[in-house]
Chain A
Amino acid sequence: MKRFKSLLRNFAFSVGLIVTVALVVAAIAAPLLAPFDPNAQDTSRRLEAPSRDHILGLDELGRDVLSRILWGARVSLRVGFSVVFLASLAGITLGAISGYFGGSVDTLLMRLTDILLAFPGILLAIALVAVLGPSLNNVVLALVTIGWVAYARLVRGQVLKVREMEYVTAAKALGAKSPRVIVLHVLPNVINPVVVMATLGLAGAILSEAALSFLGLGVQPPTPSWGAMLSSGRRYLGEANHLTIFPGAAIMLAVMGLNFLGDGLIDMLDPKYRKEM
Chain B
Amino acid sequence: MTQYIIRRLAQMIPITFGILTLVFSLIHLVPGDPAIQIAGENARPEDVRQVRHALGLDQPLGRQYLNYLTSVLHGDLGRSFQTNESVAVQIRQRYPATIELAFGSMLVALLVAFPLGIISAIYRGKWIDNVARFFALIGVSMPSFWFGPLLIIAFAINHQWFPVSGRDEGLKSLVLPALTMGLALSAILTRMIRVSLADELTQLYVTTAIAKGVTRGKAIFRHALKNALIPVITVLALQFGSLLTGAIITEQIFSWPGLGRLLIDSISKRDYPQVQASILVIALTYIFVNFASDLLYGVVDPRIKLE
Contacts and interface: CB of A to CB of B under 8 A. Distances in A.
Interface of A: 111, 114-115, 118-124, 126-128, 130-133, 207, 210-211, 214-217, 227, 230-231, 233-234, 237-238, 241, 244-245, 248-249, 251-252, 255-256, 259
A238 B157 contact: yes
A84 to B, nearest CB: 18
Chief secondary structure at chain B's binding surface: helix
A133 B26 CA distance: 12
Nearest to A249: B146
B241 interface: yes
B35 to A, nearest CB: 14
B145 A233 contact: no
A237 B267 contact: no
A195 B18 CA distance: 30
Contacts of A252: 141-143, 146
B19 A244 contact: no
B45 interface: no
A245 B15 CA distance: 41
Given A120-B242, A123-B245, A215-B249, A248 B150 contact: yes
B10 interface: no
Given A132-B29, A210-B143, A115 B253 contact: no
B245 A230 contact: no
Interface residues of B, number: 44
Interface of B: 14-15, 18-19, 22-23, 26-27, 29-31, 137, 140-143, 145-146, 149-150, 152-153, 157, 164, 241-242, 244-245, 248-249, 252-253, 263-264, 267-268, 272, 275, 279, 282-283, 286-287, 290
Contact of B18 (A115, A128, A227, A231): A115
Given A130-B267, A248-B143, 5 more contacts: A111-B14, A115-B22, A120-B242, A237-B153, A252-B143
Given A115-B14, A248-B150, A255 B286 contact: no
Nearest to B147: A248
